[in-house]
Structure 1
Amino acid sequence: MPAPRAIVTRPAREAARWTADLCAHGIDAQALPLIEIRTLREPALRQALEQARRDLTRYRALMFVSPNAVAHFFADSESNPALVHMQQWPAAINTRAWAPGPGTAQALRAVGVADVLIDAPPADSAQFDSEALWPVVAAQLRPGDRVLVVRGSQTPAVPGGQGRQWLGEQLQAAGVQADFVAAYERGAPCLDAAQQALARSAAADGALWLLSSSEAVAHLGAALPGADWSRARALATHGRIAQSARAAGFGTVHECRPALADVVASIKSLHVH
């Protein structure tokens, strides 16, 4: 029996890691990044990011929405004051680092944040998102605290970036001020001829699309307008993403937890059946 095939749609850096991990588990995985990650280009957003890096001690916690948020906030530069503060973070115990899932938590460890300062959902959580993180961190907060949410900005870029507002609403209800800063830009990739050919083939040849973002689903539709997705198969790592895939016309959509072991098990199970 041939190996199961999977199309990994995460941003390039994450897609490379996921593709390698899936291949190591006997899955024929190919990367087709559907979100492009760029450094900030707008001067106003770059200035706001630099200010946030200088003001870390004002915050009770920093919430990083993704590994990319960590990588770009702590970009290796001698002029980055966040790196200096990070190296002294064990002494500044009042500032916590929040991660919505294990990938972001690992990214924080990789830049030197101590485990004891990282808060994330339990490994056995049904999902890895703000809803799973909130019960873990809510008790840390007191009215008047401030939390900085580090995220990306779509094109066209706007101050503070864009993203779901659910966590900000919970913080506001708890009397906590939520500030937002964009650390990077997200955009639609420009698929070359080979990537377009891969996408069109995978729409009908039984490959399983691994979808981890509703934004990626939208970019796929925009890149291949008029494409027929009725025979396409998808594995979505969140219910909201599954809804987006169904709305885009994917014929078969399954859901699973975003942990590697669960993704591998789901891909192999769906291949057998």
Structure 2
Amino acid sequence: MLSVAAPPRAIVTRPAREAAQWVTDLQAHGIAAAALPLIAIGAVADPALREALQRARARLGSYRAVMFVSGNAVQYFFEENQAPGLSQKALAAINTRVWAPGPGTVAALRQTGLPASRIDAPGADAAQFDSEALWQVVAPQISPGDRVLVVRGSSAPAAEGGNGREWLAGQISAAGGAVDFVAAYERRAPRLDAAGQALARTAAGDGSLWLLSSSEAVTHLAAALPGQDWSRARALATHPRIAQAARAAGFGTVLECRPSFAEVVASIESPHEQ
């Protein structure tokens, strides 16, 4: 007779706002979940980065396309515009495409009022939601002389223009285009309090399933608990590069799945049918 064991507790490591929503949604599916944000998100603090961000906002119309790396990039790029609806008006008035690597970023763009017809993103059936999948969709748009703005985050210490998406920039350059980068937000290592550290140490060996959506989060976890034995820890990674980082950190079991919520839920539940 088929018996179904309860799925493991999920440890959600996304930034705090996203983690809270994921915990709520997982619990609604009958999955025990706890938030342990491993990336802290905030507005850029460096004056030079803030000035560069304002300049980028002012010259949106000069770009063939604007690529937002995440929902956080969308939120922080538009949140300081003074006039209500400026994001919609600015993008509607210019011939600029808007690129998104996955459904979360698309949803954030739609929340600004941007119509779906202006957004290019990998299809819902894409094997991954990343730069490689996005490039397959948008490559025909780029001609010699075109410029693309990549709106991304900056990891501490702050770097000019932020960090990440160099592969995509290389493809654009090879097609004859040029890329400008701007940092719209900062990613920082969180400060785990005593309760957070206790949760992490317990979850390292009690069968909990760590939901990992960022290699940077893995780095922050290892730094927060130096010397921790992760050989009994289990992780579910939403990209092969994240899975590689988890294995390098010492996680004993690392599963992989696409980053959609439905597939994460299915992956959590499927190993527990006996």
| TM-score, normalisation: structure 1 | 0.96
SS at match of 1:124: coil
SS at match of 1:62: strand
Q: How many residues align?
A: 270
SS at match of 1:30: strand
Partner Cα separation in structure 2 for residue 141 and residue 174 of structure 1: 7
1:55 to 35, 38, 59: 59
Partner Cα separation in structure 1 for residue 83 and residue 158 of structure 2: 24
Q: Does residue 1:149 correspond to 2:150, yes or no? A: yes
- Alignment match, 1:95: 96
Aligned partners of 2:78 and 2:87 also within 8 Å: no
Identity %: 67
Query: After the TM superposition, which residues 171-182 of structure 1 pair with which residues of structure 2 at under 5 Å, given as runs?
Result: 171-182=172-183
Q: Structure 1 counterpart of 2:44, which letter? A: L
> Deviation of residue 269 (structure 1)?
1.0
Aligned partners of 2:6 and 2:272 also within 8 Å: no
* Distance change >3 Å, CA 86–CA 164, structure 1 → 2: same
Q: Return 5+ residue gaps in structure 2 as ranges.
A: none
Partner Cα separation in structure 2 for residue 56 and residue 165 of structure 1: 21
Partner Cα separation in structure 2 for residue 26 and residue 234 of structure 1: 19
1:41 to 39, 45, 66: 45
1:35-59 deviations in whole A, cap 9, x for unaligned?
0001111100000000000000000
Aligned partners of 2:131 and 2:165 also within 8 Å: no
Partner Cα separation in structure 1 for residue 169 and residue 206 of structure 2: 42
1:89-111 deviations in whole A, cap 9, x for unaligned?
3343x211100000000000011
1:153-203 deviations in whole A, cap 9, x for unaligned?
011101100113100000000011100000011010000111111000000
Aligned partners of 1:87 and 1:112 also within 8 Å: no
| TM-score, normalisation: structure 2 | 0.95
Q: Return 5+ residue gaps in structure 1 as ranges.
A: none
Q: Does residue 1:161 correspond to 2:126, yes or no? A: no
Q: Does residue 1:22 correspond to 2:26, yes or no? A: yes
SS at match of 1:108: helix
> Deviation of residue 24 (structure 1)?
1.4
Kindly report the root-mean-square deviation, in angstroms, between the aligned alpha carbons of the 2 structures.
1.4
Aligned partners of 1:38 and 1:184 also within 8 Å: yes
SS at match of 1:227: coil
Q: Structure 2 counterpart of 1:235, which letter? A: L
